[in-house]
Amino acid sequence: MKNQMNGAEAMVKMLEAYEVKHIFGLCGDTTLPFYDAMARLNHGMTHILTRDERHAGYMADGYARVTGKPGICEGPSGGGATYILPALVEAGESSIPIMAITSDVATTSRGKYPLTELDQPALFAPVTKWNSSLDQVNQLPAQMRTAFRAMTTGRPGSTHLALPFDTQKAPIDADLIWADERHTMFPAQRQSAPQTELEIMARLLLAASQPVMICGGGPLLSGAMPEVARLAEMLNMPIATTVSGQGVIAETHPCAVGVVGSNGGVESTRALVDAADLVLFVGCRAGSVTTERWRSPTHDKTILHIDSDPMVPGANYQTDAAIIADAKLALAGLIQAIEGHDNLPDFDGKARAAAAWAAKLAEFEPLATSTQMPITPEAVIHHLAAQCDDDAIVVADPGTPCPYVSAHYRWRRDGRVFISNRAHGALGFGMAAAMGAHIGNPSVKTVALMGDGSFGFCVGEFETMTRYNMPITSIVFSNAVYGWIKAGQKSGFGARYHNVDFSRTDHAAVASAYGIKSWRVENPADLPAVLSEALAHDGPTLIDVISQPLHEAAAPVSEWVA
């Protein structure tokens, strides 16, 4: 007689086979068999119960970024499926592999108007790399293997599996349960670069006079940090990054320029790109933010492009040489090709990078040390960077925190030190992603930065943070406005402010009610002492900073600069 189990048990055993250690999710009626299997079986996984499905997905995203393992989230049918979808959108566009498992009504109930009925595959199809409904229990193991293969190979992305109630209870042969170990980490089955294309790119690069390399998140995902630094040092070439690419190179490296583009770039970094005669994009889509809406670099430059996605090179710039390959393998091959040439050029990268930093710091330091109230965001970043260890992970929501961190928090090491949701920029991402990052790497300090708009989106997860006693420090930039929009109204619409302001919340009091040790800071002179105490505390903490609103600030966002 065959050894059998039910579908819910098979799902648990497949996750175990893929070496999953943490699952983020929220319970529901249609998930009862799966939860029962999790409770009964010996599987070595920890389930993190969240307060909503969206944040379960964001936690899985942050977890995947720091571990190099796919993040797993789950939720129930109906509303649970709709709530989890934003996390899959962000992860998919950010090349982060997360899998969402959403339970569903029984297949035998379809069309009979059961509670929470929804065409889940149709809902998730446009926003995932791969997506299916497990309508037959014998499909489950093979479909799970397909999902892991899809989200970890090529350009990583998000996947979704609907798990109907009757599939969870149906019998399946246990011998069908096995995993492909190649897909337990990402990126998997990396594509290498053809030698002829490497030689062409090497010749074009060596023929330049003032090149710059702009790295997106691709080299970070592929672990190409040593290759990026090696190429920079071989040619004394400046290395710039996108916001998602921060961590590709330590920003204290003499060839590092920091962030370029409209969010976090400044006049001096823009000038460096504009002066270049050749731009090498690596793992970067050359999208609207990185290129100042395709104005920097200009279109008269020589463009080289390395990316794992064949649709990216040539999409926005005429490309003189393109390599479709994993960033680490491609850069290693390019280095080898360059080493075959004599009399390598010196591109003066250290001096060019130093000049860009000097100009940026000259603008930053007066604001960083300002005693004005409300507190400048620059002062928060200045004191935070001074007190955090080099290996701390900082997670920033879009809005107020992101441009300031990107421009002014100078990362002293490479690696996954910074996370922000740069694909779709949904508010409320930062705190949940910080929680996932902490679960994935609990040995380092994790800091979550958010505006008060974002606080309103994610406040319920403070209970989760307290329940699991996560020693995360949250910092709220409190200015009682949807600041990014108000700044846009000021710069582009004649300062006609409409419906962007709201009343100020005592965020410290709210967090305290959830059990978070909290402070409210109005005077910048108090920041160092409060930060020191908060960062050293062995449980969750929050600092509510009464801060300058973006429309009154000197934010490093080019579209707001006159």
- pLDDT tens per residue, range 152-195: 999 999 999 999 999 999 999 999 999 999 999 999 999 999 99
pLDDT in tens, 264-283: 999 999 999 999 999 999 99
Q: Hey, what domains does the chain have and what are their CATH numbers? A: 4-183 (3.40.50.970), 195-352 (3.40.50.1220), 369-560 (3.40.50.970)
Structure confidence by residue, pLDDT tens digits, 304-349: 999 999 999 999 999 999 999 999 999 999 999 999 899 999 999 9
**CA nearest to 98, candidates 436, 543, 518, 558:** 436
Give residue-wise pLDDT tens across range 371-382: 999 999 999 999
Q: Is it the case that residue 102 has pLDDT exceeding 60?
A: yes
Nearest to 353 by CA among 515, 173, 233: 233
In the predicted model, what is the mean pLDDT of the chain? 96
Provide the pLDDT for residue 388.
98
Task: Determine the Cα–Cα distance for residues 91 and 419; give it in Å rounded to an integer.
Answer: 12
Residue range 22-51: average pLDDT? 97
Q: What is the pLDDT at residue 559?
A: 84
Helix (H, G, I), strand (E, B) or coil at 413: coil
Name the band, by pLDDT with cuts 50, 70 and 90, for residue 461.
Answer: very high
Confidence label for 550 from pLDDT (cuts 50, 70 and 90): confident
**Distance of alpha carbon 48 from its chain centroid, rounded?**
20
How many C-alpha atoms does 324 have within 13 Å on its Cβ side? 8
Model confidence at 1, in pLDDT bands (50, 70, 90)? low
pLDDT at 562 over 70: no
Residue 560: band (very low, low, confident or very high) from pLDDT cuts 50, 70, 90 = confident
Half-sphere exposure of 165 (CA within 13 A, CB side): 19
Sheet strand arrangement including 321-324? 256-259, 239-241, 211-215, 278-282, 302-307, 321-324
